[in-house]
Chains A and B, each alone.
Chain A
Amino acid sequence: MANTSDTILTVENMSVEFPTLSGVTTAVRDVSFTVGREKIGIIGESGSGKSTTGRAIMRLQPPQAIVKANRMQFEDIDLLTASEEEMRSIRGRRIAMILQDPKYSLNPVMTVGEQISETVILHERATSQEARSRTLAMLERVNIRDPERVFDLYPHEVSGGMGQRIMISMMLIAQPSLIIADEPTSALDVTVRQQVLSILDDLVVERNIGLIFISHDLNLVRSFCDRVIIMYAGRVVETIAAADLDQAQHPYTRGLLNALPSLDHPKDRLEVLRRDPAWLEN
């Protein structure tokens, strides 16, 4: 279980709204949770507001989005009132973010090394020499065998798994205390996924930091995370320890679990989720 004494992030009643032509859509509604030095998973269907939540924490929501909350506290910083200047010094240094597909989330015309060392130079005013050696060390840390060579490669020259490890090293090089990973492995093969996750797992445990792991793979979250937040249509319907997922109470969570085909408990017909409008009322 998470140790509440060590809370890194507290979110209370956060909502994110998008004004559109046909009125205001509320992508996230009254979401509350805390993150400690633990791996917390967020699951839910597509469009349930997982990514929006993650980005709102970093204040990286699209410019037209409106974020409201009673409280958004990250360590000693009030994310609701922090200036853009302050946010910039927090992003990448104290809160980092890993995105889904390394193919698109790395700049195609900058070398891998350049992109990683940029973070160090930015946040720690390191010289490029220092940055380079830090980068090489970090690449080695994520199990890249020939960091010197990889440093000068361009993103299109590395494989997906390697790209995701580069992404991890880029985000962890400045030693943040919270990482938000938005489906970091869903673009990867099963075999590679395992490897990337174990590196991430190691780093989080080793540095004793918090991880928000966004995914829609129930099995993955169950086995990887400590705690799971289940979202439905922008709301948190349930928060539960990963180990207790099978005992989940909310019909939505249950529905998801039952809809899953399983090697261990084969079923002839899968159960179909029946949505209850009542779930939309908090």
Chain B
Amino acid sequence: MSMIKAHHLAASYGHGDTALKVVKDVSFEVQKGETFGLVGESGCGKSTILGALAGRNKQWTGSIEIDGETIGQKRTRAQLAKQQLVFQDPFGSIHPRHTIGRTLLEPLEIHGKDRRQERIEKVLTDVGLPLNFRYRYPHQLSGGQRQRVAIARALILEPKILLLDEPTSALDVSIQAEILNLLKDLRQREQLTYILVSHDLAVVAHLCDRVAMMQSGGFVEIATRQQLLENTVEHAYTRILMDGSRGYVSERRNNKGEALPV
């Protein structure tokens, strides 16, 4: 059963002659419980796709189906609650003047949920934060802790899908590991479906079942995890990305001259 189905999805910014088509005709399906990766260089349209799925970006064409339900440009609250976005920057994604408790309470109020304190306590425990953190302000938290709060906020509405936009790229490796582990645990426990954007293929390979390589708004290849690990990807661009995530490749050592293949 597929949780997300995007068909001929295209998205753009701006109007009239300043309009910019950023995502050009991509189609993909994500199964329930699966993690789908999106990689590609900066500006290729990864966040835009997530935006379209989450309901943030309303200028898209094609069709989107979530949890069997076809989604339009305008969404109901219930539809919005089905998927939640986790942002890259843990410093910018939490309201700086709300306590953590307040931040977590907000979605409950919007959706008129009951048992609010109970839910907050549960979700804090789920993401591994002490309960008295709810009285703290974001500036009193480390980056990793904030990212946990961001995940908690996304989880509190009990969504089926988490859309993760580079959730660890602002974090140190040691903390990245904690978050990646947390995401793995949650996926298992809550039966969640993920779409993960990253530019680190190692991270993608760690978490994802399948990954789409993007270049200037389109998919150039969709590889399985197996392919990545076995280094059997086909597209040249994917190879560059793979080399990149292994570190620096000295050209002098390779003695190949200055230009790298594109």
A266 contacts across to B, CB distance below 8 A: 205-206, 229
Which of A190, A222, A223, A270 is close to B206, meaning CB atoms less than 8 Å apart? A270
Q: Establish whether residues A263 and B244, one from each chain, have CB atoms under 8 Å apart when the complex forms.
A: no
Q: Which residues of A contact B69 (CB under 8 A)?
A: none
A189-B199, A195-B260, A263-B229 are contacts. A216–B173 as well, Cβ < 8 Å?
yes
Q: Which of A102-124 contact B (CB under 8 A)?
A: none
Residue A218 lies at the interface, judged by CB distance under 8 Å to chain B: yes
User: Does A220 contact B240, Cβ atoms closer than 8 Å?
Assistant: no
Is A270 within 8 A of B180, CB to CB?
yes
The reply to whether A263 and B201 contact each other, CB–CB distance below 8 Å, is yes
Bound complex: CA A271 to CA B143 (Å): 19
Q: Is A149 an interface residue, CB under 8 A from the partner?
A: no
Cβ of B186 within 8 Å of any chain A Cβ, yes or no, is no
The 10 closest A-B pairs by CB, nearest first: A190-B244, A223-B247, A259-B177, A261-B206, A219-B247, A270-B177, A273-B174, A224-B248, A223-B248, A45-B172
In the assembled complex, the Cα of A263 lies from the Cα of B201 at a distance in Å of: 8
| Binary interface encoding of chain A residues 123-139 relative to chain B, with 1 for a CB under 8 A from any of its CBs, else 0 | 00000000000000000
Residue on B nearest A258 in the bound complex, by CB? B177
**Minimal beta-carbon separation of A216 from chain B (angstroms):** 6
**How many angstroms from the CA of A271 to the CA of B201 in the assembled complex?**
18
Q: How far, in whole Å, are A40 and B230 apart by their CA atoms in the complex? A: 32
Q: Tell whether, in the assembled complex, residue B258 and residue A259 are in contact, meaning their CB atoms are under 8 Å apart.
A: no
Q: A193 touches which one: B176, B180, B200, B244 (CB < 8 A)?
A: B244
Chain A neighbourhood of B241, CB < 8 A: 190-191
Asked if A262 and B202 sit within 8 Å, CB to CB, the answer is yes
A81 at the interface (CB under 8 A from B): no
Would you call A140 an interface residue if the criterion is a C-beta within 8 Å of the partner chain's C-beta atoms? no
A184-201 Cβ-contact flags toward B at 8 Å (1 or 0): 000001111111011001
Q: Interface size for chain A: under 10, 10 to 19, 20 to 34, or 35 or more residues?
A: 35 or more
Interface flags for A162-198 (1: CB within 8 Å of B; 0: not) read 0000000000000000000000000001111111011
Q: Give the nearest-CB partner of A266 in chain B.
A: B229
Stretch at the interface among B9-17, B71-79, B249-257: B249-257
Q: Does the CB pair B174–A256 fall under 8 Å?
A: yes
Residue B30 at the A interface, CB < 8 A? no
Q: Which of A's residues lie within 8 Å of B, judged by CB?
A: 45-46, 143, 189-195, 197-198, 201-202, 205, 216-220, 222-224, 255-256, 259-264, 266-267, 269-273
Contacts from B to A (Cβ < 8 Å): 41-42, 143, 172-174, 176-178, 180-181, 184, 199-203, 205-206, 228-229, 231, 240-252, 258, 260
Q: What CA separation (Å) do A45 and B170 show in the bound complex? A: 11
The answer to whether B41 and A205 touch across the interface, beta carbons within 8 angstroms, is: no
CB-CB < 8 A to B250: which residues of A?
198, 201, 223-224
Q: Kindly state the separation between the CA atoms of A160 and B173 in the bound complex, as whole angstroms.
A: 24
Q: Roughly how many angstroms separate A41 CA and B244 CA in the complex, as a whole number? A: 18
- Complex Cα distance, B247 from A219, in Å, reads 5
Assess the A220–B247 pair: CB atoms within 8 A.
Answer: yes
CA–CA, A264 and B199, complex, Å: 17
- Give Cα A218–Cα B176 distance, bound, in whole angstroms: 13
* Cβ–Cβ contact A260 & B247, under 8 A: no
Asked if B178 and A272 make an inter-chain contact with CB atoms under 8 angstroms apart, the answer reads yes
Q: Which of B176, B180, B246 contacts A263 (CB 8 A)?
A: B246
Minimal Cβ-Cβ distance residue in B for A197: B248
In the complex, A223→B184 CA distance in Å?
29
CB distance from B259 to the nearest CB of A (A): 9
Q: Which single member of B173, B180, B249 contacts A194 (CB below 8 Å)?
A: B249
CB of B242 to closest CB in A, whole Å: 7
